[in-house]
Structure 1
Amino acid sequence: MCRIAAYHGPAIPLENIIVRPRHSLLSQSQHATEAKLAVNGDGFGIAWYAPHSAEPGLYRDVLPAWSDGNLPSLCRMITAPLFLAHVRASTIGETSRANCHPFTFQGWSFCHNGQIAAFPALRRRMEAALPDAHYAARRGTTDSEMLFLTLMARGFADAPAATLRSVLTEFAPESDAAPNRVTCVMSDGQSLLAFRHASDGKAPTLYLSGTLDNGGRAFASEPLDGESNRWTAVPLDTLVVLRDGQVAEYPLLAQAA
């Protein structure tokens, strides 16, 4: 499974989240403590938003995060008020730059940890359902990118909670099939949105920080300071929206109401 970290608040160097904390995303790439795999070495990526640009900057590579000598320098020099970062342990799709997260589309960025269990069987139907613009935007072969483009095509930008409800219900596995496990963080450049869902109740971890010392807040697969009592687990089947320091929650499924 992969690891995710994201930040929203006053502009800070990316290294304050990705590199410098005791249990930073870079540390988690080799020493994850709340995942089946401790090592996430199948590529990494960062998407960040500048104040006057609708499209995020994007840097991705197939190297393990700890092997890219450019990453610490970039994270020290790039300052942003909102960014997402991801280190990958692949489940579906080969190790390639096109399959590294975050994925982007029309100003949105998206990171995923988990899998759509029946994706090989669903893939052709999901591809056929994409409008031409979304289909043309697809570059890789992962269930993650397909989930992202499906959400975008179904109207997530205008009605995020309702779109999630519809898509998660449509692709729910049969009762005796392998479970879907989906933990995601995404952004339109104004808000951070996060959710966790699993058809067996065992979604990959994701936490929300309290207010950090610079006034911002962060999502992370594992608490960046290693102290879980300072972070709150994102509830299952709930869309959590972070904007301007405020948090709103929207139940996704009936049992979460």
Structure 2
Amino acid sequence: MCRLLAYAGPPILLEKLLVEPRASLISQSLAAREARTIVNGDGCGIGWYGERPEPGVYRGILPAWSDANLVSLCRQIRSPMFVAHVRSATSGEVSTANCHPFTDGRHLFMHNGQIGGYPTLRRAVDAMIPDALYARRRGTSDSEAIFLAALGNGLDADPVGALGATLEAIEAKAAAQGVAEPLRFAAVHADGDSLWAYRWSSDGHPPTLYWRQAGDGVVVASEPCDAGSEAWSMVPPDSVMTIGRDGSREISAFRRPAVTRQAA
């Protein structure tokens, strides 16, 4: 599984969360503590909001622990809202196009999890992406497909509803094709004004996702990134946490686990 981190609140240097902590996201790329895959070395990326509506993005195929450019950027960029991701590939080859976060206009999206049985479902899931958006498909990962399909389902106007509808449609296609493997979804979507952190799975066993207060801001992460682990709380399963640029937060229900699928 991949590792991710996101922050919203008063502007801070990215290094405060991504580089300096003993268990920073960069260190988790080499030695994650709460993941089945300890090493997450199939690329990395950051996305941040600054003076323009569209975010800045840096992605690369080097492991985060050996990417000097990533560290240099984190030491220079100050932002009120940013996301970061280190990848352990479950679908799609190691390439810049498959590294997170994915972006379109003012949107950023990153995902930890997978569409179970994706080799079987890939053609059907790709068909969910509207023709007008399909030219923006740069990679081959299931995560990018979810993002583009959600854009087609109205992500700009109703982020939570669009992602819910997208996952529901994928579940229906999996059931129709007799795919038993679960869909697991810990993800972050941001648009510069708000940030949404999701924790859900079709089998009731979603990937980990924690949150804690960080001064007047809020940070969410796949696993705690600092020594004060007692300050972290788990985002409840089947929930979405909405975080404002001012650090305000709200947790609400997302989707209930689907009925367990049976292979055909």
Q: TM tier, shorter chain?
A: over 0.9
- Which of 172-181 and 186-195 deviates more? 172-181
| 1:127 CA drift (Å) | 2.3
Aligned-residue Cα RMSD (Å) equals: 1.7
Rounded Cα–Cα distance in structure 2 between residues aligned with 1:168 and 1:130:
13
- AA aligned to 2:250 is A
- Which of 38-47 and 112-121 deviates more? 112-121
Rounded Cα–Cα distance in structure 2 between residues aligned with 1:41 and 1:231:
25
- Which of 155-164 and 189-198 deviates more? 155-164
| 1:130 CA drift (Å) | 1.9
| 1:62 CA drift (Å) | 0.3
User: Over residues 196-234 of structure 1, what are the superposed CA-to-partner deviations in whole Å (9 max), with x where a residue is unaligned?
Assistant: 111121111111112x23x21111111111443211111
User: Over residues 29-74 of structure 1, what are the superposed CA-to-partner deviations in whole Å (9 max), with x where a residue is unaligned?
Assistant: 1111111011100000000110x31111111110000111222211
Counterpart position of 2:11: 11
Counterpart position of 1:247: 249
- AA aligned to 1:240 is M
| 1:97 CA drift (Å) | 0.4
Rounded Cα–Cα distance in structure 2 between residues aligned with 1:63 and 1:90:
13
User: Over residues 136-164 of structure 1, what are the superposed CA-to-partner deviations in whole Å (9 max), with x where a residue is unaligned?
Assistant: 11100000000011111101221223223
1:53-64 to 2 correspondence within 5 Å? 53-64=52-63
Rounded Cα–Cα distance in structure 2 between residues aligned with 1:236 and 1:30:
27
Counterpart position of 1:27: 27
Matched, 1:189 2:192: yes
Q: May I ask how many residue pairs the two structures share in their alignment?
A: 253
Counterpart position of 1:206: 209
2:116·2:179 contact (CA, 8 Å) conserved in 1?
no
TM-score normalised by length of structure 1: 0.93
Rounded Cα–Cα distance in structure 2 between residues aligned with 1:255 and 1:108:
26
- AA aligned to 1:238 is S
| 1:254 CA drift (Å) | 4.7
- AA aligned to 1:251 is A
Give ranges in structure 2 of 5+ residues lacking alignment.
259-264
| 1:77 CA drift (Å) | 0.8
Counterpart position of 2:262: none
- AA aligned to 1:75 is C
1:41·1:89 contact (CA, 8 Å) conserved in 2?
yes
2:13·2:77 contact (CA, 8 Å) conserved in 1?
yes
Rounded Cα–Cα distance in structure 2 between residues aligned with 1:235 and 1:184:
13
Matched, 1:37 2:26: no
Give ranges in structure 1 of 5+ residues lacking alignment.
none
- AA aligned to 2:133 is H
Q: Secondary structure at the match of 2:100?
A: coil
Counterpart position of 1:75: 74
Counterpart position of 2:261: none
